[in-house]
């Protein structure tokens, strides 16, 4: 065990950390009566962490443990966090920034302990902005107010909804989710509210809807901005009266359900175009929680990658990222947010054979459609920390971003070209009309078909900024 040097102690003191050096086991009990955290240096496994945590518990203390790990050992970092480490810092970093993050983590834990909540292990909230959102979400979770989660597609709205559920007193009860844009109107109504036996042809037995299935727990309504107006009216009545009546039923059923909704669109704009009820908006948005795009919370990127490598990696293989790969991940704009990051990690796992992921193995989605406002990361853009003398060269089968818009070219893939043309036609129709219903009439399709096509475009990362959605 190495004693900290004076300059290292001084740096820790700048963030309010007064280190206590333990030279003998007898010193541990004395130190634990004063310490807020215990810091251990891990080499290549969790043995020391396990021994220290067991010893602390045996002595009757509840002092959290911070681990110091080599910068490149992402696998050990993830293992330590999964096994209950309060925080992980680089082994050679004694900067104010690094250890300031330890004090923030401790403050977050103290808040969680005070409210008796626990963050799900699958969630990653490392960036300061994410930690602030987590603390706010955990406060909201202790009440039964309806919450509206707002953020771009793929930013993690369902993850945050699960945090709200698992941090609440309803954590042991069901969490039920529905994507309101994924199903036609008649199926959504039956899924949400259920039906009685004989309510319609083929209804051979009663069916409990998702609201009933979520009794005592939480129901998560994703993409609520895509819910048809007729269902919005029924949902509003259910939220107001806290009861529902199944299709074909007569008796109201009392509900005890927490409602969390999410959207990637501006519902206030939808209210102006009369596509979303104003009274329903105020009923579901008692507390709004806004999720930032992944690029605006860079502190989450590498921890998310580490977690994804554990999920998608081959059993028995420890994965690490070289410095160029890390720089590339931190520099990429992530138009597809966490969902795109997950795809990139899965591709890297497929290409990686020795456990060390390089920049050449990071294949990004091809957002070649200029009207969507997204592009694939160009090899001509050199991220911070990557040498210009050794540019990152993508594999031959990786698609490169065009430097300028391609004009009058023959499409390589007819299906992609058709999708691109369809997107342009839909965008033009939306821009030239006052409502989605008018746009559907202009296009010669039903409003439901238009909703389905818009959902497909959003899944592909398309943007229809300025259109009346």
Q: What is the 3-state secondary structure (H, E, C) of the chain?
A: CCCCCHHHHHHHHCCCCCCCCCCCCHHHHHHHCCCCCEEEECCCCCHHHHHHHHHHHHCCCCCCEEEEECCCCHHHHHHHHHCCCCEEEECCCCCHHHHHHHHHHHHHHHHHHHHCCCCCCCCCCCCHHHHHHHHHHHHHHCCCCCEEEECCCCCCHHHHHHHHHHCCCCCCCCEEEEECCCCCHHHHHHHHHCECCCCCCCCCCCECCHHHHCCCCEEEEECHHHCCHHHHHHHHHHHHHCEECCECCCCCEECCCEEEEEECCCHHHHHHCCCCCHHHHHHHCCEEEECCCHHHCHHHHHHHHHHHHHHHCCCCCCCEECHHHHHHHHHCCCCCHHHHHHHHHHHHHHHCCCCEECHHHCCCCCCCCHHHCCCCCCCCCCCCCCCCCCCCCCCCCCCCCCCCCCCCCCCCCHHHHHHHHHHHHHHHHHHHCCCHHHHHHHHCCCHHHHHHHHHHHHHCCCCCCCCCC
pLDDT digits (tens, 9 = 90+) for 366-420: 654 433 333 344 333 333 344 434 444 433 333 333 333 333 333 444 455 555 6
pLDDT confidence of residue 109: 66
Q: What is the mean pLDDT of residues 184-194?
A: 82
Cα(93)–Cα(52) distance, rounded to whole angstroms?
22
| pLDDT of res. 191 | 86
Statement: residue 269 has pLDDT above 60: yes
* pLDDT the model gives residue 60: 64
Bridge partners for 89 per DSSP: 68
- pLDDT per position as a tens digit, 241-263: 999 998 888 889 999 999 999 99
Which pair of tokens denotes residue 204? 């051979």
Q: Give the model confidence (pLDDT) of 90-105 as tens digits.
A: 888 877 777 777 777 7
Q: CA–CA separation, 120 vs 5, rounded Å? A: 37
- CATH fold of 6-115 reads Rossmann fold (3.40.50)
Q: Say whether pLDDT at 36 is over 50.
A: yes
More confident residue, 398 or 323: 323
Band of pLDDT at residue 20, cut at 50, 70 and 90: low
* pLDDT of amino acid 113: 52
pLDDT on residue 402: 33
Q: How confident is the model at residue 464 (pLDDT cuts 50, 70, 90)?
A: low
What are the phi and psi torsion angles at 329 (to 5°)?
-65, -40
Residue with tokens 């990696």: 313
pLDDT band (50, 70, 90) for residue 30: low
State residue 54's pLDDT score.
81
Q: pLDDT at position 86, please? A: 87
With a pLDDT cut of 70, the percent of the chain lying above it is: 74
The string over 409-444, giving b where at least 16 C-beta atoms fall within 10 Å of a residue's C-beta and e elsewhere, is eeeeeeeeeebbeebeebbebbeebeebbebbeebe
Average pLDDT over residues 108-122: 48
**How confident is the model at residue 271, as a pLDDT?**
94
**How far from the centroid of its chain's Cα atoms is residue 361's Cα?**
23
Q: Which range among 42-46, 111-115, 150-154, 459-463 shows the weakest confidence by mean pLDDT?
A: 111-115
The reported pLDDT for the residue numbered 387 is 43
For residues 1-25, average pLDDT: 48
Q: Which CATH class is domain 297-407?
A: mainly alpha
Confidence band, pLDDT 50/70/90 cuts, at residue 11: very low
Give which of 180, 141, 157 is closest to 258, Cα–Cα: 141
Confidence of residue 48 (pLDDT cuts 50, 70, 90): confident
Contact 225, 179 (CB under 8 A): no
Q: Please, what is the average pLDDT of the chain?
A: 77
Place of tokens 């065990």: 1
- The CATH code for residues 130-290 is 3.40.50.300
Record the tokens describing residue 57, joined without a space. 């518990």
Residue in this structure with the two tokens 């990071």, named with its chain if needed? 362
pLDDT at 386: 42
| CA 146/CA 91 separation, integer angstroms | 43
Decide if pLDDT at 333 tops 90.
yes
- The pLDDT value recorded for residue 35 is 67
Least confident stretch, 9-13, 35-39, 94-98: 9-13
């Amino acid at each position: 065990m190495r004693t900290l040097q004076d300059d290292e102690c001084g740096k820790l003191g700048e963030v309010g950390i007064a280190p206590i050096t333990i030279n003998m086991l007898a010193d541990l009990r004395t130190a634990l009566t004063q310490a807020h955290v215990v810091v251990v240096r891990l080499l290549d496994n969790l043995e020391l962490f396990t021994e220290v945590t067991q010893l602390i518990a045996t002595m009757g203390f509840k002092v959290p443990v911070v681990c110091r790990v080599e910068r490149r050992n992402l696998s050990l970092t993830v293992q330590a966090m999964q096994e209950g480490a309060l925080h992980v810092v680089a082994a050679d970093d004694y900067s104010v920034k690094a250890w300031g993050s330890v004090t923030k983590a401790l403050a977050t834990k103290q808040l969680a302990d005070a409210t008796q909540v626990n963050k799900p292990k699958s969630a990653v909230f490392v960036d300061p902005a994410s930690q602030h959102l987590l603390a706010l979400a955990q406060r909201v979770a202790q009440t039964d107010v309806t919450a509206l989660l707002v953020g771009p597609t793929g930013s993690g709205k369902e993850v945050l909804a699960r945090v709200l559920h698992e941090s609440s007193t309803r954590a042991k009860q069901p969490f039920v989710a529905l994507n309101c844009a994924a199903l036609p109107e008649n199926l959504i109504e039956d899924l949400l509210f259920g039906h009685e036996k004989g309510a319609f042809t083929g209804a051979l037995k009663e069916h409990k809807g998702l609201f009933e299935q979520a009794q005592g727990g939480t129901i998560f309504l994703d993409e609520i901005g895509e819910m048809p107006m007729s269902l919005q009216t029924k949902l509003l009545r259910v939220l107001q009266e806290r009861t529902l009546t199944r299709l074909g039923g007569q008796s109201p059923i009392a509900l005890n359900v927490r409602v969390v909704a999410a959207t990637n669109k501006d519902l206030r704009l939808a209210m102006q175009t009369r596509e979303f009820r104003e009274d329903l908006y105020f009923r579901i948005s008692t507390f709004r929680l806004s999720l930032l795009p992944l690029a605006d919370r860079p502190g989450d990127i590498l921890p998310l990658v580490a977690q994804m490598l554990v999920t998608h990696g081959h059993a028995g293989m420890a994965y690490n990222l070289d410095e160029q790969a890390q720089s590339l991940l931190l520099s990429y704009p992530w138009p597809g947010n966490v969902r795109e990051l997950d795809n990139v990690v899965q591709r890297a796992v497929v290409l990686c054979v020795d456990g060390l992921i390089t920049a050449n193995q990071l294949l990004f989605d091809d957002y070649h459609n200029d009207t969507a406002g997204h592009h694939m990361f160009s090899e001509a853009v050199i991220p911070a920390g990557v040498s210009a003398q050794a540019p990152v060269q993508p594999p031959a089968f990786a698609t490169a971003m065009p430097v300028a818009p391609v004009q009058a070219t023959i499409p390589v893939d007819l299906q992609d070209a058709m999708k691109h043309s369809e997107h342009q036609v839909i965008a033009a129709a939306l821009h030239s009309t006052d409502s989605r219903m008018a746009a559907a009439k202009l296009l010669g399709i039903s409003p439901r078909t238009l909703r389905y096509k818009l959902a497909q475009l959003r899944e592909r990362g398309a943007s229809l900024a300025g259109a009346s959605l």
